[in-house]
Structure 1
Amino acid sequence: MIERPYTDDDLRIEAARQHAALTADLDFTGTGEQMKGQEVTPGGEVDWDDFRDETFEAAQRSIHELVTGAASLSEWAVGLGADGLEPVEHAVSLQADGRPIVRVHFAFEPGMPEEMRIAFVEGVAEEIARVL
């Protein structure tokens, strides 16, 4: 048997590096190509293709900027996948002067019941509020 000259952490670090590289040099044209044929709002009746050129291009530019300006969550995403956890839409945000200053996102074991997930998130939010 060949001994592995690398660790699981080494694999995760490289996977996170590659994941981050996928969005680091995003092609502007590719952003528009990805929009073609897609619904503006899932389940809606309007596609990005329905907009005139200047409207489509303005949306394309905004989407491109959002993707390229997004925080790098590659290490977090790879770690979640490796641990078998799934991120959920639940989050706790703290605001000051009308803008978020802290946001906590959650990931759970796939079999955890929704009621337990909600109770956990609410418990965290209540504890943070109690301390502040």
Structure 2
Amino acid sequence: MSDQPYTDDDLRAEAARQLSAHGPGASREQTYAAMLDAPIESTRDTDGPTWSEALDAPDLSTPAATINALINDAADVSEWAVHLGADGLEPLGEQLTAHTQNGPWFRLHFAVRPDMPDDMRRALVEGIGQEIAKHFPTA
């Protein structure tokens, strides 16, 4: 019997709870304040402006409200994230999405070991995509 009063699963569950607690629930004002000095992602490669450099203060309220809604409406994937990290996996930027007339039907995200070769990563995503495509009607 172990001297520790907790298991690895206990550690993961607590990490997921805390990660989840720090995400949703921010007010629009907190979201607004947090974005002021943050670079706009699409301009990061060109050393582009921060939100406050790109927009006057009154114009920041609309994107702040949208960002706040996205945060508060986000799916809680804290438990998945904790398990991925505990297993030493890292997310890939690639994803597969099946669309319907009403928006996405499903979306698959991938996480792999950091030492997985690029060609194997590509084969994984493409192979799964090709296999799924066999079951969709062609237009």
Q: Common fold, TM-score beyond 0.5?
A: yes
- What letter matches 2:100 in structure 1? A
CA deviations 1:44-96 (Å, max 9, x no partner) are 42321121122111111111111111111100100000000000111111111
- One of 112, 123, 129 as aligned partner of 1:125: 129
Per the alignment, residue 35 of structure 2 pairs with 35
Q: CA separation in 2, counterparts of 1:58 and 1:43? A: 24
Instruction: List alignment gaps of at least 5 residues for structure 2.
Output: none
Per the alignment, residue 60 of structure 1 pairs with 64
- RMSD between aligned residues: 1.7
Give 3-state SS (helix, strand or coil) of 1:20's partner: helix
- One of 37, 49, 52 as aligned partner of 1:49: 52
TM score, norm. by length of structure 2: 0.87
TM score, norm. by length of structure 1: 0.91
Return 101-110 or 41-50, whichever deviates more: 41-50
Instruction: List alignment gaps of at least 5 residues for structure 1.
Output: none
Per the alignment, residue 24 of structure 1 pairs with 24
Deviation, structure 1 residue 113: 1.4
Per the alignment, residue 82 of structure 1 pairs with 86
Q: CA separation in 1, counterparts of 2:121 and 2:73? A: 30
Deviation, structure 1 residue 130: 1.5
Q: CA separation in 1, counterparts of 2:27 and 2:62? A: 16
Deviation, structure 1 residue 27: 3.4
- What letter matches 1:16 in structure 2? A
Count of matched residue positions in the alignment of Structure 1 and Structure 2: 132
